[in-house]
Amino acid sequence: MRSPFLVILSATLFLTACESRLNPVNWFGRSTEERVATAPTVSLETDPRPLVDEVTAMAVERIPGGAIVRAVGRPARQGYWAAELVPVTGDEVKKGTRVFDFRIAPPDGSTRTGTPQSRELSVATFLSDQALAGHRTIIVRGARNQRRARR
């Protein structure tokens, strides 16, 4: 009884200390920022909300049954609302990559710029294990940058 317990305990300690893909805590690493060239494009989007100005943070948190993709964005001024991570589909998405646009609704009137902390918006979405199958990279896009997390 003591020997199997010690083997299981040692294996658990070994896997949690390693940086390999075998450790379920390391399935998605920290996000990295990538600058996006802003070129005027004509799109046939059905969502009229603009992209958030800058994506400041992104994390993929494993939970039973899937993962939560969480992102923090900063618009140019205060008053933006109805933030959402909108999945992107089509030819622009590479195989093995899941892409989300960080969309926000602009305020009705003019608003103050305010401090950077007062303009931050947080948003999250759930992805099931089936939705994550075959995807090794998750990207959240903003107007000026994008953040990427890899398995």
Angle at 134 between CA 129 and CA 139, to 5 degrees: 85
Q: Distance (Å, rounded) from C-alpha 26 to C-alpha 16?
A: 9
Q: Distance (Å, rounded) from C-alpha 134 to C-alpha 63?
A: 18
**Residues 71-114 pLDDT 10s:** 999 999 999 999 999 999 887 778 899 999 999 999 999 999 99
Q: How confident is the model at residue 30 (pLDDT cuts 50, 70, 90)?
A: low
Bridge-based pairing state of the strands 97-105 and 54-63: unpaired
Q: Distance (Å, rounded) from C-alpha 51 to C-alpha 103?
A: 5
Whether the pLDDT of residue 32 is over 90: the answer is no
Q: Do 101 and 51 touch, CB atoms closer than 8 A?
A: yes
pTM of the full predicted structure?
A: 0.72
pLDDT of residue 41: 47
Q: Distance (Å, rounded) from C-alpha 78 to C-alpha 106?
A: 9
147: phi then psi, degrees, rounded to nearest 5:
-120, 145
Q: Distance (Å, rounded) from C-alpha 34 to C-alpha 55?
A: 10
Element (H, E) at 11: helix 2-17
Cross-sheet strand order for the sheet of 81-88: 32-35, 145-150, 137-141, 97-105, 81-88
**Residues 46-62 pLDDT 10s:** 889 999 999 999 999 99
The mean pLDDT of the chain is 85
Residues 13-30 have a mean pLDDT of: 63
Cross-sheet strand order for the sheet of 66-74: 54-63, 66-74, 121-128
Residues 61-65 have a mean pLDDT of: 96
For the chain, give every domain's residue range. 1-26, 31-150
